[in-house]
Amino acid sequence: MKTLLFLLCSTVMVLARPALDKPNVIIIFLDDCGYGDFSHTGNPSIRTPNVSKLVREGLNFPQFYTASGACSASRYALLTGRNPRRSGFGTWVLSPTASKYIHPNEITIAEGLKNRGYSTGFFGKWHLGNPNSSNGFTTNAFPLAHGFDTWEGTNVSNDYDPGADLVKSNPSGTTPVAGYEIIAEDILNKQPLHEELTKRYGERAVQYIKDNKDNPFFIYLAPNMPHLPVHASSEFKGKSLRGLYGDCIEEIDAMVGSIVQTLGEEGIQENTLLIFTSDNGPWIRFENTASHAKYDEARLLVGSALPFRDGKGSTWEGGVRVPGVFWWPGTIDPAKVQHQPASTMDILPTVFALAGEPLPTGRTLDGRDIRNYLNSTEFPTSPGTFKFVYTGAGSNVIYGARAGAHKLHIRLYSQTGNNYGFSASRSNPLLFDVEKDPHERFDISGSNASIVNQLDTIISDFETSLATEQTFWGAP
């Protein structure tokens, strides 16, 4: 009997996939979540033990950036590794009736991993196009045309009225287009459905892990919240010290915990890279508003970007600096902190390299392969200097650039209309050392002409790239 057990155990060990052999990838991409909304970033009234566990056991980036301060632009950049200005959308937020969508010639994370034999599941908000009369109800506007095997979620943000539908892929479905079916239309006023959205997505992700545990998989999990309107299920409502907003975040934290627990129960946590981040900062425009046409009692239902300036929509640090946690037991050392900056655009080159998928050709990528930050022994090649061009507000125009510790503003924007006594232009820019001065209080442009010129050159090179390459939709 002992010999038989030994042989069985040995067989299991032989069949197990090595950790570095096409690791599973899970990206959790929150909506409008502030940098300061978590225990590990100092929030005193929102309890997030499961995200803290990821930080203790994995890699934390205190300087992690999303590519835009708004929904569609940031999602485009995450999935393609490209600056939102290259999307050709002409806007940073695609409405339900917009004619454009993520172009079929773009290569997404899902498409690249699918090429390597991955199963690809998506649960949550899409917001990269919608089949409608202005684009001939094309199926190219929806996720299955961009590498995903299955999807359940909303087409746009959950505050559109009308326009936000809960949709799922279905081979026999025909509404709104072939291969899909609408679960619920115009969900804004369906509070019970809203309250269950986070739970719904978490359950779908857990089941997908169980169904695909024996082969490599990619899960893109994009909760609708804490974007307004904020909700939580009955299990979490009234539990947080921070009111309904805190309830919402604590439910998201519990969802993270259920995913990590499932990976452990299925014995695949060492085969899985999990990335936790957000699409942009909090919607502070409504933080002191007692009510809003779409949201009852909006007061205190938005998050915190502290200790940074401003929030969603802006290229001040509070709009684009977001949580950045990478967890991969056995490959990433516990409690690792990487003080060098990185961005959501770095994710595609990194996971493609891990999966053995070549980088897309015929286009410019703005992200880098940052495997070295995960494990410098296994991946000794340095990512090099962080160079980042800020685009945003309206049509994804250029707002500034960063390299190393320095950040240049050539344009300013805040949804609150408050630029804190500053102004900026190409001829009179602002310069901050955001490592010494993360609050962006002290303009040092006057005494650092060479750094200003260096960052201006990064902007000029980006402009040249745009003019040379164009976008798949034409001129940017």
Residue numbers annotated as active site: 71, 127
Backbone phi, then psi, for 61, in 5-degree steps? -105, 100
Contact 348, 22 (CB under 8 A): no
Evaluated on CA atoms 377, 381, 386, 391, the torsion sign reads: negative
b/e burial code for range 406-431 (CB count within 10 A of at least 16 → b): bbbbbbbbbbeeebeeeebeeeebbb
CA–CA dist 371, 366 (Å, integer): 16
CA–CA dist 200, 473 (Å, integer): 35
Question: Nearest CA to 234 among 296, 290, 191?
Answer: 191
Evaluated on CA atoms 19, 22, 24, 29, the torsion sign reads: positive
b/e burial code for range 223-248 (CB count within 10 A of at least 16 → b): bbbbbbbbbbbeebeeebebbbbbbb
Question: Nearest CA to 75 among 44, 43, 106?
Answer: 106
Distance of CA 43 to the CA centre of its chain: 21
Q: Using CB atoms within 10 Å of the CB of residue 162, give its burial: 0 to 12 exposed, 13 to 18 middle, 19+ buried.
A: exposed
Count CB-CB contacts under 10 A for residue 182: 16
Beta strands across the sheet bearing 150-154: 180-184, 166-169, 150-154, 119-124, 217-222, 24-30, 272-278, 325-327, 59-60, 336-337
